[in-house]
Amino acid sequence: KVGLNTAAKAAGKLYFGTAVDNRYLNTGNYTAINSNTADFGQITPANSMKWESTEPQQNKFTYTGGDIIADMAKKNGQLLRCHTLVWHSQLPNWVKTGSHNNATLIAIMKNHITNVMKHYKGKCYAWDVVNEAFDDKPGNNYRSESIFYKTIGEAYIPIAFAAAAAADPDVKLYYNDYNIEDMNKKFERTKTVVEQIKAYPGARIDGVGMQTHLQESKPLSEAAITAVMNKFASMDLDVAITELDVRLQTKGANAQARQQRNSIYGNVVRACKNVKRCVGITIWDFTDKYSWVPETFKGEGEALPWDANLKKKDDLYDAILKAWGPA
């Protein structure tokens, strides 16, 4: 049966996938939809592998939620993208507000990476090792609110990738960020950080995750996205679209806005199709009911291919299929 994943594979990609949130697994037909491998050949835990979940207290590792997602992927025969090891957000308080120095926080970070990666060894296709290092202010500097940057400085990133490379030589290691789908300053920052990782003894990076949280009101062309992917590919990296959604300003949304959203999805899919090193696309959950968008941007939404009643939106679904095809 033709679906989003089978169409992606027919276009030479490894997968089309979705984020899955443990909170909703037992509600309605959520799990039935995300387990349908015609549409989803890959899943990413939306929250349950983040630091606050995996190491809520120092050196007390809890893998319950992440294991549920990993087991589900295995049972369904889906690839698993593991998300995420080092991020300034969703950190437990003992990390965020603890009193650390350079040496103690490096040790804490290495211990976290090593334990979590060893636990999931053989289960993940890829790890988002470091997530969202740069801010959105002019200059896109390193996030000043990150405890890792504040304490260790920019070396925290290559150090994290060296620890990850040592913990698991087989899994793909990614740097993951948003607003890098265009050749802007943050994209330049990302290229620089990749070079720093590559130059650091013992470190390895295999790919860049382009989150791709887009807005209908700010269209992005197939050519722009393709150019970014080609640039990363020329640095001998894989690329993946890791958290795709395209939101509407729901108030006043009309057929034209939805059409625009659908065509932006098409641009992303065709860009990935254009570039051999683009391995696949993941949407950031599949239903508007559980999307992060309305929680974060009041009044905005309709960003995903299934609506708030978990009903497939034929127009958007078909736009994605069409962009992958003809098979």
Question: What residues make contact with ligand G3I under the rule CB under 6 A?
Answer: 21, 46-47, 89-90, 131, 211, 243, 292, 295
Nearest-10 Cα torsion for 65, 71, 73, 76: -140
Of 46 and 147, the one with the shorter C-beta distance to ligand G3I is 46
Task: Report the distance separating Cα 68 and Cα 274, nearest Å.
Answer: 34
Structure token pair of residue 263? 């065509």
Of 46 and 85, the one with the shorter C-beta distance to ligand G3I is 46
Least distance (Å) from ligand G3I to the CB of residue 90? 5
Catalytic residue among 55, 216, 222, 243: 243
Of 187 and 292, the one with the shorter C-beta distance to ligand G3I is 292
Bond before 326 cis per omega within 30 degrees? yes
Least distance (Å) from ligand G3I to the CB of residue 46? 4
Catalytic residue among 132, 181, 216, 302: 132
To the query of whether residue 243 is one of the catalytic residues in this protein, the response is yes
Per-residue three-class SS string for the chain: CCCHHHHHHHCCCCEEEEEECHHHCCCCCHHHHHCCCCCCCEEEECCCCCHHHHCCECCECCCHHHHHHHHHHHHHCCEEEEEEEECCCCCCHHHHCCCCCHHHHHHHHHHHHHHHHHHCCCCCCEEEEEECCECCCCCCCECCCCHHHHHHCCCHHHHHHHHHHHHCCCCEEEEEECCCCCCCHHHHHHHHHHHHHHHCCCCCCCEEEECCEEECCCCCCHHHHHHHHHHHHHCCCEEEEEEEEEEEECCCCCHHHHHHHHHHHHHHHHHHHHCCCEEEEEECCCEHHHCCHHHHCCCEECCCCECCCCCECHHHHHHHHHHHCCC
Of 186 and 270, the one with the shorter C-beta distance to ligand G3I is 186
Least distance (Å) from ligand G3I to the CB of residue 118? 22
At position 270, the amino acid (one-letter code) is R
Of 131 and 146, the one with the shorter C-beta distance to ligand G3I is 131
Least distance (Å) from ligand G3I to the CB of residue 256? 26
To the query of whether residue 302 is one of the catalytic residues in this protein, the response is no
Of 72 and 321, the one with the shorter C-beta distance to ligand G3I is 72
Least distance (Å) from ligand G3I to the CB of residue 131? 6
Least distance (Å) from ligand G3I to the CB of residue 318? 26
The residues annotated as belonging to the active site are 132, 243
